[in-house]
Chains A and B, each alone.
Chain A
Amino acid sequence: MDSPSPIEIRNLSKTYRLGFLMNRQVRALQSLDLSLMPGQVYGLLGPNGAGKSTTIKILLNLVQPSEGEARLFGLPPSDREARRRVGYVPENPAPYEYLTGREFVTLSGRLNGLSGKELDDRVSEVLGMVQMTRAANLQIRRYSKGMVQRVALAQALVSKPALLILDEPTSGLDPVGRRQIRDLILEERHRGTTVLFCTHIIPDVEALCDRVAVLVGGRRVREGSVAELVSAQTTHVEMTVEGLPLEHIQAMGITLEMARPLENRVLLHVRESDAQPLLKHVLEQGGRVTQLHPARFSLEELFLRALEEAKQGPVGGEIS
């Protein structure tokens, strides 16, 4: 029998009731479906208020869904056994400031059921992994933001989780801190840990994720691997031709989206479907193609386009 998916989300919706009389409703998530394969690094990409953190909080039993269901390893998030296999770093993590880094990671280990020498060894190991051994005995109130983030990651790793859930793990960090966190996520992937992380930092998604879902206004508007998402969005093919004047090329009857004669060559933009026929004609007529490449949206452009599209349609937010 197949082992259950680390995360399975079906038709998940959340509407918050706000205000003193709870009569104001804000829709944070709408009919979300999501499935993670073991060992995958999955990114939830979206602007602020897209529903990324709400999704994560439902998975961790911090928020109850209004509709639909979420499952961790086939179990509901309210099941302690499901959460025992999860390590979580919230956005702007706030460990107890009166504790030292080592004490906080030890407390987390205890709450995860570890004890004795196994706990002590594991605490030292994860503090080493996040490069916090030297500062481990300082109170957390003396830590910089990057150090707090690393201790938060250590407490998430202490129980050797099969699933890591990270909410904006690199936000607010300097480039060195970001690099360290990214390296740690990659190390965890090599160990076979499944990672779900949400962010609005696109380079992190490109560097880390196997698959990505783009959320806007509580809805999933795109989903796929980074390569799939960007290759599915080829805008045009750029071709550089030498040995043929522009007039000859225009006479071939293929629609040119852009044609620019340069010193001894012609730069052309054509639709992807027209690229092969144009290439054939150019070669048949003695021309030489010195450059040919599909121009694709970057993930950032894709993200911005998804945002624009979502603005045209119904989105989440205040509904009454």
Chain B
Amino acid sequence: MGPFIALALNGFREARRNRVTLLVAIFALAMLMSTTLVLEITVGTFDRVITDVGLGAMSLMLVLLAIFLSSGLISREIERRTIFLMVSKPLSRGAFLVGRLAGNMLTVTVLQLLMAALFFAMMSFYESPISPAHLAAVGMLWFELWVLSAVGFLMSSFSSQMVSAFVTVSVYFAGHLSSDIYKLASKSESGAIQALGKAVYYVLPDLSRFNYRPHATYYAPVTSSELLSAAAYGMAFTGVLVALAVVLFNRRDFR
């Protein structure tokens, strides 16, 4: 097992020991309670509601988890002084950073797989049809989590956990609005506002590209080219942020 895998598995072990996996139990409970309630109050819209609640809860929990884990990833190491024992080892700082991020993403991925399995099991149990849009919604959420984790991770490489978490939450909300901001700004007659809208669109990740929850709710069709393009966008955005984090981290003194 190489140093990179050792770091990634250690990140997963950290999350497990810190009882992050309890989130899956909370998700299961939320699903169980909501379906029981939904069965009582809905007539004819059960499929839509179970999809909305399931995907919404999954998205909310995993987004919060990704922000929490990534925003403290490096700053916690520095505050607790664990960084001294790690960065002095014979591995590059870049390998250390990416190994830690991989550990985070392994945790998020395992939890998402467990939640998705629960969600689809619940849908099958209630004989609610599963469409390609459902799979797309779950799959694209994974890419959104990569982008958000990379934002938190970049911030964490040079600021405190509090600042990193605040910025990442802000990016989450702004990122879901960035395409709207772009469209609104492009309708303005002012060249400055148009340029500002464009700048916001290119600097912030366009997280609405990963949101296939409405497609799942309304059983709308999805195309593979659309999905591939969104996935490529997500990985490219993540790559740029991680590269930036590595550059900043390489220049840093650990006093």
Contact = CB atoms under 8 A, between A and B. Distances in A.
Nearest to A58: B253
B254 interface: yes
Contacts of B2: 110
Contacts of B87: 60-62
B90 A62 contact: no
Interface string A34-63: 000000000000000000001001001111
A196 to B, nearest CB: 13
B253 A16 contact: yes
Nearest to B18: A98
A80 B92 contact: yes
Nearest to B17: A98
Interface residues of A, number: 33
Contacts of B88: 60-62, 83, 86, 88, 90
Contacts, number: 81
Interface residue range, chain B: 20 to 34
A113 interface: yes
Given A110-B6, A111-B3, A111-B91, A90 B255 contact: no
B254 A155 contact: no
25 contacts: A16-B255, A60-B88, A62-B87, A62-B88, A62-B254, A63-B253, A63-B254, A64-B251, A81-B90, A83-B89, A83-B90, A90-B84, A93-B81, A93-B85, A94-B84, A94-B85, A98-B14, A108-B89, A111-B86, A111-B90, A112-B89, A112-B90, A113-B90, A115-B1, A139-B17
Given A95-B85, A96-B10, A99-B13, 15 more contacts: A54-B255, A57-B255, A60-B88, A61-B88, A63-B253, A80-B90, A80-B91, A83-B88, A83-B89, A86-B88, A90-B85, A96-B82, A98-B14, A110-B6, A113-B90
Interface of A: 16, 54, 57, 60-64, 80-81, 83-84, 86, 88, 90, 92-96, 98-99, 103, 107-108, 110-113, 115, 139, 152, 155
7 tightest A-B contacts by CB?
Answer: A84-B90, A110-B6, A98-B17, A60-B88, A90-B84, A94-B81, A111-B89
